[in-house]
Every structure is written in structure tokens, then in C-alpha cells.
Chain A
């Protein structure tokens, strides 16, 4: 009797999500087997040709799928390298300083891509700030191209990914019992040793959570390569966008989405396995 109330309350959200999330996703899978006919919209069919067109082409495999995986891996790793120290520092701060830092880290997430890209265009341009700075610092002599270039895409993906890494690491650093680190220091471990043997292994779950978010985000990115990428920056999300909206080839775009989800799931499973091992190994050592 009590659960009747729950059913009534849940019904609107559950129905909305089923109709507008679950069904559309299933429909994407179905559409991926449809046939694309030149000039016509699409024809209901059951063919694998959309898949073979992508998976059978070494150009697509290398320049789109493998390229996207590489970019996602690189940008995710850079985000971790930048984000870890920031999370460590924020965890040590208190009160107002902490809330100011957290707000600064989070602001790019709420401000929105196009707005941020505007600022980056000013920084990236040929005679722009980044080039002036680099030339003044003697890093290089001639202006370098960031806009409409892979370099710009990488910088922006790191920029957007880093806050998520900081956030999930901060969460697990705070859960860490400080007496563990103190104990390690008391028995003579230096800062590095204490970090590698205590803090790092115990924050692996938080690191993993951050990696999952940022890898998925960057692997499927289409807005960033659309806004600052070049012609050779064919990330898979961008190809999906173009096929669906510009070429109106919904079956091909759908099959690419299925391939992307499958590739993402495979990589995340591998990552879960590696992290599981790492965490287990560390626990064994502790015992």
C-alpha cells in the first residue's frame, strides 16, 4: 500500500526517462542497421554496411577512432598531472581560501564552452597573448598556430577535464585519515615516500572516478574540435556530429555512436581491471 505512493511519485520521471533516453538509445542501435540511399533520407533495412564502412577502412580506424583514443588518453593524463597537486593543495586549505579555490576550479564547468572558447581565441591568435608570452620567454621565435590546430584542441580538453579530476581527487583526499600519513612520517618516511606509500594508493578510487569521467568526456568530444580544431582533427564525436547534421546520414552517425560506446566501454573495463589490481596489490603489501 505504501509503495503505491512511491509508484505515483516516480512515474513522471521514469516515464520521461524511458521515452526520451532509453527508447532513443535503442532507436540509435536500430538506425545503425538502416540503409543510406543517395538523395533519399534513409531506408529501413538490416545491413552491416554502416559498420563495415567505418571498421573496414584503415583511414577511419587510424584517423578517427585511434586518433580520438590517443587524444583522450593524452589529455586525461595531462589533466591528472595538473590536477593532482592542485587537489593536494586545496585539501590543506581551510575556510574562505578553500571555498574561493573550489569556486575557481569549478567555474569553467558552469560557464559553458562557447564563452570560454571566446577567451581562448584571444589567447591563441597569431599575435595573441600566448604567442607574445612564449616569444618573450624565448620558448620559440616565431608565432605558433594554436587556433584551428590540434594544440588548441589539446589545451582546451585539458582545461575542461582538469576540474573534474581535482573534484574527485579532493573528495578522496579528504576521506583519507590524516593519521596514516602522520604515522608514516613518524616512522621516518619522507614526504615523497609517505605520498607514494599512503596517499597515492588510498586515493586510487577517486583517481579512477575522475579518469572515467574525463576520458569519456574527451573521447566523445565534438564541440571543442568543432570550435578550435583543424581539418585533420577528426575526432569521432565530431564525425558523428557532421554525419548527422551536415550530411544527414543518420544510419552512419548511429553506427559510429555504437562503435564509440563499445570502444569506450572496452577501455573503461580495461581501466577498471588495472585499477582493481593496483588497489588489491597495495592492500596485500599493507598486510
Chain B
């Protein structure tokens, strides 16, 4: 083991400063949310009173319900579509595979602004405008490529002889799917589900275009709150979002590797 030379040392110092830059706003939000004296840093104690205020506010509780159901429904839709598509992409060879792959990844390639506007204009044309269906579809389609990526990775490592064995001892296609395929790729499915949920749960750009009045997801509600009010209750709400995202990140990292999942 040799001592790090000057160059490596300089890189390390630079990296730590950059990490501080990336992590500072997150840390600050967490600190403000448990600080009894609003915004006076460093914190002079510890309180959960802001959290209590945030989690008992009717508006926020309602928005949380919206985000929760939106995230769950979008994740279920995205993962179902992704699971079937990945099964075809991994197991079959056919013409136009590259084109299908491009189509499936397209929601990631189009700027979110354009994707949201396109859905908004399209639903307006159909006579609905922004509404719950548009919002659910927008979220599902947007997270679909991420689900496809995780599921592709876990399905590629799949040993198909397991399925053949099940078929040989007389299991039907459905039985094989339930007792072999799904259990084997379980971790992939769970991390894909968690990732889709957390991306939807934290989304602002799509929701702000497509959410109907009265059905506002949490980030949009937080945005309108901090626009007019600046207090530690906002920090507590932001911290709640951070904590949930943090837990999700740990789960995804353990199961699928965070880095591979986020690579574009």
C-alpha cells in the first residue's frame, strides 16, 4: 500500500467538496425540519413538532394519498407492461428488435417538458384535458423504461432450464410462471417496483402539467406551499420525501445496484 500522491490527494479533496455541494441542500432541509427555532442554524435542539404539523395538515395528508395511489397504480401498470415486453425481448429473436427497443426507451429520450406537453395537448384534443387518467398514464409511461431496464438485467441471468424442468414434470405455462419465473426474478421485480414508485412519488414536471385541480400530488402541493409560505413545516414535508426516497435508494441499491439502474 503506497501513500497517495499529490494528484490523488487533490482529486480526493475536490471530490469531497463536490460531495458537500451535492449533499448540502439535503442535509440543510433535514436540519431545519428538526430544529425548534425556525431557520436559526445551527439547530438549538430537537423537535418533531414541524413533522407533526405537516403530517396532520389536511392538504398534505390528502396530497400524500394522491401521490401514494398514483405511485402504486403507475408502478403496477409500468411493471406489467415492462415484464411482458422484457419476456419477449430476452427470449425471442425477431426482426425490428432494435426499433422496438428504441420505442420502449423513447420516454427517456424525449425531454420531460415535451413529453408532458404532448400528453396535455393530446388529452385536450380527446376532450379530457389534464385529469386523473392523463396523470396516471403520464407517470406510467415515464417510468416504463426504468422498469424495462431492471427487469431485462434480472431476466438475462435467468436459467431457462428451470422452466423446462417444471414443464417436463407437467406444469402448465401459468403454473411455471407462478412457481418458477416470478420467484426467481423476485428481487428484480421488487427493486423495479420500488424505483418506479419513488420516481413517481417525487415527480414534479409531469404532475404540474397533468394533475387536475383537487387531485394534486405531494411535490406539486409542496411547490405551491413554499411559493407562498416559508416555514419549517415545508422543511418537514420535504424531509419526509427525502427519508422515503432514502429508504427506497437503499432497497434498490441492495437488490439491483443503484448505479446501473440510473444510467441513461
Contact = CB atoms under 8 A, between A and B. Distances in A.
A199 interface: no
A12 B22 contact: no
Given A5-B92, A119-B26, A168-B263, A20 B137 contact: yes
Interface in B192-241: 198-199, 201-205, 208-209, 219-220, 222-223, 226, 230, 234-235, 238, 241
A210 B23 CA distance: 21
Contacts of A167: 259, 262-264
A129 B89 CA distance: 51
A10 interface: yes
Contact of A111 (B104, B141, B230, B242): B242
B138 to A, nearest CB: 8
Contact of B29 (A13, A110, A119): A119
A173 to B, nearest CB: 12
Nearest to A214: B264
Given A24-B122, A85-B11, A90-B15, A110 B110 contact: no
B14 A85 contact: yes
B249 interface: yes
B161 interface: no
Contacts of A227: 223
B34 interface: no
Interface stretch (A48-56, A57-65, A96-104): A96-104
Contacts of A241: 113, 117, 208-209
Contacts of A86: 14-15, 18-19
Most A CB atoms within 10 A — which of B100, B111, B223?
A: B111
A114 B114 contact: no
Most A CB atoms within 10 A — which of B41, B85, B209?
A: B85
B25 A123 contact: yes
B222 A163 contact: no
A140 interface: no
A223 B116 CA distance: 12
Interface stretch (B46-54, B76-84, B162-170, B182-190): B76-84
Interface in A110-126: 110-123
Nearest to B259: A102
B264 A213 contact: yes
Given A9-B85, A103-B249, A217 B219 contact: no
B112 interface: yes
Interface residues of B, number: 84
B154 to A, nearest CB: 16
Contacts of B28: 119, 122-123, 129
B133 to A, nearest CB: 10
Interface string B44-66: 00000000000000000000000
Contacts of B15: 85-86, 89-90, 101
B171 interface: no
Contacts of B122: 20, 23-24, 27-28
B111 A116 contact: no
Given A168-B264, A213-B264, A113 B249 contact: no
Contacts of B39: 122
B84 A9 contact: yes
Contact of A17 (B21, B106, B201): B106
A221 B113 CA distance: 7
Contacts of B11: 85, 88-89, 92
A119 B24 contact: yes
A101 B92 CA distance: 38
A76 interface: no
A10 B141 contact: no
14 contacts: A13-B84, A13-B85, A16-B141, A17-B107, A24-B119, A114-B226, A118-B25, A118-B235, A220-B113, A222-B113, A240-B117, A241-B117, A254-B117, A257-B113
Given A14-B100, A24-B122, A220-B111, 4 more contacts: A112-B204, A115-B219, A159-B25, A257-B114
Interface of B: 7-8, 11-12, 14-15, 18-19, 21-29, 32, 39, 41, 80-82, 84-85, 87-89, 91-92, 94, 100, 103-104, 106-107, 110-115, 117-122, 124-125, 137, 140-141, 144, 198-199, 201-205, 208-209, 219-220, 222-223, 226, 230, 234-235, 238, 241-242, 245-246, 248-249, 253, 258-259, 262-264
Interface of A: 2-3, 5-7, 9-10, 12-14, 16-18, 20-25, 27-28, 31, 82-83, 85-86, 88-90, 92, 99, 101-123, 129, 159, 162-164, 167-168, 170-171, 191, 209, 213, 216-217, 219-223, 227, 237, 240-241, 244-245, 250, 253-254, 257, 260-261, 264
